[in-house]
Amino acid sequence: MADDAALSNLSYEERVFPPTPEFARQANAQPSIYAQADADRLAFWEEQARHLTWAEPWSQVLDWSQAPFAKWFVGGRLNVAYNCVDRHVEDGFGDQVALQFEGEQGDRRDVTYRELQDEVCQAANALTELGVAAGDRVAIYLPMIPEAIVAMLACARIGAPHSVVFAGFSAEALRSRIDDATAKLVITADGQNRRGSAMPLKPAVDEAVADCPSVENVLVVRRTGGDVEWTDKDVWWHDIVGRQSTQHTPEAFDSEHPLFILYTSGTTGKPKGILHTSGGYLTQVSSTHRNVHDLKPDTDVFWCTADIGWVTGHSYIVYGPLANRATQVVYEGTPDTPGKDRWWDIIERHRVTILYTAPTAIRTFMKWGDEYPQGKDLSSLRLLGSVGEPINPEAWMWYRDVIGGNRCPIVDTWWQTETGGMMIAPLPGVTGCKPGSAMGPLPGVGAAIVDDHGTPVGHGSGGYLVLTEPWPAMLRGIWGDPQRYIDTYWSRWPQYYFAGDGAKWDTDGAIWLLGRVDDVMNIAGHRISTTEVESALVSHPKVAEAAVVGANDDTTGQGIVAFVILRGGVPAEEAEGDAIVTELRNHVAHEIGPIAKPRQIMVVPELPKTRSGKIMRRLLRDVAENRALGDATTLADPAVMSLIAEGLKSGADDD
Ligand code: WT7
């Protein structure tokens, strides 16, 4: 399972940071919440669900009779967008700012809940005019602008499941996702602002849609301006949305009505469309946002730095915070534009109180230097969060000292695209936190760490992380492939959900996450499968074979390292040059997206294989991390590793 490097951060952590009495006193979640959930788990979730506004009450909390296909709040009906927007306006908070938007170029726009309601209604009416009805899938390929949130809520409002595709993904990645979900509409923009320049988005959509017969229209937000190619399927957002009525009656949908599909990498080359539904999902994301982020809607300014292309953006920008009537910052651009203090500038100007970000960002800021955050007033912050990968104790301590001024609790939150919402995390007013640990299962969540036989291990031992009880925001399956859902998550130990992560209990009973145990890499908090990158590489005409591993990386957690064997016809001088490496890195970027670009590509004459032909990735990881080779006795050809070591050729890291 987890390799030595992952285990090495397990040296016993003595430091514990209990909440201050002041924080504890005002915290939304008080210690009794654990006992309450333990006493009656389903009653606990029912109580959380009562924070939402239901058009029809449920008759049963959980139906697990078709396990592992769950139904939560059976018979209940609600409209998710109504819960995130309209009810706050009805309650008298129409003038409260929902979104404090900041564009990369410095343009700013506050959107109140009333304005958000108007725009969501207009967008919902526009979608209806374009023939989108409940159940139809809508692909969203947009940068971090208010229209992205409006688009998602408009889909939710009319019951059309959205499939948001990260705007950094390639045309090919977009095409395969549109195709898998047979989306009827794509919502995109002309371009997005990245690192000070306008990057086109629409050409990738044109390329993708050309091969997607299901797409009837493309709705285009004007963001960057300038010329765009236009097809007869294209409609400008400002043309059609702008002229709609701001009145739209939200229909109540079944609690199990599909809310969205979000694609994530698994251990094969084909991304999985993770399916989430309405009532249980909204219950858990709003509950965890209230209890773990401790949101106070009247006074807090929340900022989750994720992109809506990832589940964090779905659950903790759009659905959880808006259901809780948060005021939040939405930022379009990169952290170093125009300067390396951009985030701290945003926090100072918007008086951000709660910051939720990823370890890879924290480590990047550590590397850039303390002077950037220290040059800004961060005294508004009162709580910090981390998500996406294990946070190493050094980064945790830096986050606490330099960003949190030693006063803010840090919540390290473990969860997945599949879990929909947070599962393992401290409660900031209750739990004494250890730097680097996600601490324990949240109230109402069942987790265990098991050995190969599925037997739970005790404190002081490690194994595989499993979830032992169904939870409201759990995935309801994989779009179009129920069998893959069962095979991937519920077959290793049928009574447990297998998360794919290694974990360990320390002797005090705190959980330490140890990284993936399958062929999934975690690059800057983003999941990318080794197989996916391998298929991209072998789809290049000059590549015969490829093996990809995730190697430790000080900043991004893991970095992608590829070993490739070129085809026979490639001339030796080409195989030895740097150009081939650049060509292959760009090819992967084109096939999947820039985030999947290998950090390093090594052109090798052979790959280490067992006699049965399985590539020994462990040995390749040793090479990639410059370690002495581990046990190589099962290699079919023992000479292969010295061949590889001799022929190493590394690629320049130009981004
Ligand atoms: C994988 C899920 C959860 C939203 C972002 C990622 C890793 C996530 C933590 C954490 C250690 C973490 C796991 C998990 N992960 N959060 N706090 N500590 N590891 O969602 O792309 O579905 O990836 O991210 O390996 O399985 P995702």
Asked whether the bond before 494 is cis by omega within 30 degrees of 0, the reply is no
Choose the residue to mutate in 424, 501, 526 for probing ligand 1, maximizing ligand atoms within 8 Å of C-beta: 501
Q: Give the model's pLDDT for residue 654.
A: 38
Q: How far does residue 30's CA lie from ligand 1's centre (Å)?
A: 26
Q: Give the model's pLDDT for residue 479.
A: 98
What is the domain range of residue 576? 540-647
Question: pTM of the prediction?
Answer: 0.91
Q: How far does residue 526's CA lie from ligand 1's centre (Å)?
A: 8
The verdict on the CB of residue 438 being under 6 Å from ligand 1 is: yes
Residue 297 in domain: no
The rounded distance, in Å, linking the Cα atoms of 313 and 329 is 12
- Take residue 407 and report the two structure tokens written for it: 């006063």
Number of helices and strands in the chain (H, E): 24, 30
Nearest CA to ligand 1 atom 2: 416
- Residues of the chain scoring pLDDT < 50: 1-10, 649-655
Ligand 1 atom with least separation from CA of 417: 22
**Exposure letters 491-521 (e unless 16+ CB within 10 A, then b):** ebbeebbbbbbbbbbbeeebbbbbbbbbbbb
| DSSP, residue by residue, 554-621 | TTTEEEEEEEEEE-TTS-HHHHHSSHHHHHHHHHHHHHT-GGGS-SEEEE-S---BBTTS-B-HHHHH
The verdict on the CB of residue 516 being under 6 Å from ligand 1 is: yes
Q: What pLDDT, in 10s, does the model give residues 328-387?
A: 999 999 999 999 999 999 999 999 999 999 999 999 999 999 999 999 999 999 999 999
Nearest to 606 by CA among 615, 596, 618: 615
Nearest to 272 by CA among 176, 413, 205, 168: 176
Choose the residue to mutate in 276, 391, 416, 437 for probing ligand 1, maximizing ligand atoms within 8 Å of C-beta: 416
Residue 635 in domain: yes
The verdict on the CB of residue 388 being under 6 Å from ligand 1 is: yes
Q: How far does residue 575's CA lie from ligand 1's centre (Å)?
A: 37
- Take residue 655 and report the two structure tokens written for it: 């981004």
Q: Give the model's pLDDT for residue 13.
A: 75
The verdict on the CB of residue 314 being under 6 Å from ligand 1 is: no
Q: Give the model's pLDDT for residue 648.
A: 52
The rounded distance, in Å, linking the Cα atoms of 110 and 182 is 35
Q: Give the model's pLDDT for residue 300.
A: 98
Q: How far does residue 388's CA lie from ligand 1's centre (Å)?
A: 4
The verdict on the CB of residue 426 being under 6 Å from ligand 1 is: no
The verdict on the CB of residue 94 being under 6 Å from ligand 1 is: no
Nearest CA to ligand 1 atom 14: 416
Total number of domains constituting the chain? 1
Residue 70 in domain: no
Q: How far does residue 594's CA lie from ligand 1's centre (Å)?
A: 20
Residue 272 in domain: no
Residue 389 in domain: no
Q: Give the model's pLDDT for residue 646.
A: 65
Q: How far does residue 218's CA lie from ligand 1's centre (Å)?
A: 32
Ligand 1 atom with least separation from CA of 515: 25
The verdict on the CB of residue 499 being under 6 Å from ligand 1 is: yes
The verdict on the CB of residue 412 being under 6 Å from ligand 1 is: yes
Q: Give the model's pLDDT for residue 5.
A: 38
Q: Give the model's pLDDT for residue 257.
A: 99
- Take residue 396 and report the two structure tokens written for it: 């945790």
Q: How far does residue 3's CA lie from ligand 1's centre (Å)?
A: 18
Nearest CA to ligand 1 atom 24: 388
CB atoms within 10 A of CB 212: 18
Query: Cβ distance 177 to 263 under 8 Å?
Result: yes
Residue 546 in domain: yes
Nearest CA to ligand 1 atom 5: 388
Ligand 1 atom with least separation from CA of 413: 17
Residue 43 in domain: no
Q: Give the model's pLDDT for residue 532.
A: 85
Residue 263: beta bridge partners?
A: 273
| 157 SS3 class | helix
Ligand 1 atom with least separation from CA of 315: 4
CA 72 vs. chain centroid, Å, equals 23
Name residue, tokens 């081939």: 580
Q: Give the model's pLDDT for residue 268.
A: 77
The rounded distance, in Å, linking the Cα atoms of 107 and 255 is 39
The rounded distance, in Å, linking the Cα atoms of 537 and 466 is 33
Q: Give the model's pLDDT for residue 408.
A: 98
606: domain CATH number is: 3.30.300.30
The verdict on the CB of residue 415 being under 6 Å from ligand 1 is: yes
Q: How far does residue 428's CA lie from ligand 1's centre (Å)?
A: 20
Nearest CA to ligand 1 atom 8: 388
The rounded distance, in Å, linking the Cα atoms of 27 and 427 is 9
Residue 564 in domain: yes
The verdict on the CB of residue 416 being under 6 Å from ligand 1 is: yes
Q: Give the model's pLDDT for residue 434.
A: 97
